[in-house]
């Protein structure tokens, strides 16, 4: 049971970093939010790139899983 919890938590964290970072960058560029909004967005996107490497499984399986999780997180 614990072997599935870590990948799910990493999926969720990576998804939140990617979606949140993209959203904050969009707010900074298109909605005239302060510069710190863009900076936080950029940091979240960099964190997303790092968090994605925490997955213990092979790249192909992980990438397919990310697709499903990100679709669900984007809709939610």
pLDDT, tens digit, 9 for 90 and up, residues 58-76: 777 777 877 887 788 778 7
For residue 34, what are the domain limits?
A: 13-75
Residue 5: inside a domain: no
Residue 20: inside a domain: yes
Mean pLDDT across the chain, nearest whole number? Answer: 88
Rounded to an integer, what distance in angstroms lies between the CA atom of residue 45 and that of residue 54?
A: 15
Q: Where are the alpha helices (DSSP H) in the chain?
A: 2-30, 35-51, 59-75
Number of domains forming the structure of the chain: 1
Mean pLDDT computed over 7-21: 89
């Amino acid at each position: 049971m614990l072997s599935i919890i870590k990948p799910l938590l990493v999926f969720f964290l990576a998804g939140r970093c990617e979606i949140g970072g993209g959203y904050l960058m969009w707010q900074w560029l298109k909605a005239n939010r302060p510069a710190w909004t863009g900076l936080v967005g950029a940091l979240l996107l960099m964190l997303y790139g790092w968090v994605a490497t925490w997955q213990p499984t092979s790249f192909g399986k992980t990438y397919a899983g990310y697709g499903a999780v990100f679709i669900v997180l984007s809709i939610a």
